[in-house]
Amino acid sequence: MVSIYKDQRVGIFVDVQNMYYSAKNLYNSKVDFRGLLKKASQNRKVIRALAYAIESDVPDEADFFDLLENIGTR
């Protein structure tokens, strides 16, 4: 995909809980956060990607936060 925006820079801000529960409750599905970041950037230079999430005592939460960090969000 060739981007007409290749010289633009972009910041991406993700409300994790909102995205997660909307996908779960409305579509009985999960969010592909890696795909979301790729689509949101449209091949532009990402200068910052932040994922807003509340920590709780849910099993596998640490793994999920590691995944978010590994795909480039903070």
> Mean pLDDT per segment of 10 residues, for the chain of length 74 residues?
76 95 96 95 93 88 90 88
pTM, entire model: 0.78
Of 39, 29, 1, the residue nearest 14 (C-alpha): 39
Q: Is residue 41 part of a domain?
A: yes
Per-residue confidence (pLDDT) for residue 22, from 0 to 100: 96
Q: Is residue 2 part of a domain?
A: no
Q: Is residue 6 part of a domain?
A: no
What is the residue range of 51's domain?
15-70
Q: Is residue 3 part of a domain?
A: no
Q: Is the dihedral of CA 17, 18, 22, 23 positive or negative?
A: negative
Q: Is residue 5 part of a domain?
A: no
Per-residue confidence (pLDDT) for residue 43, from 0 to 100: 86
Q: Is residue 46 part of a domain?
A: yes
Q: Is residue 32 part of a domain?
A: yes
CB 46 within 8 A of CB 37: yes
Q: Is residue 10 part of a domain?
A: no
Structure tokens at 41: 């950037």
* One-letter identity of residue 52: Y
Q: For residues 30 and 21, what is the distance between their CA atoms, to the nearest angstrom?
A: 9
- The tally of domains found in the chain comes to 1
Per-residue confidence (pLDDT) for residue 11, from 0 to 100: 96
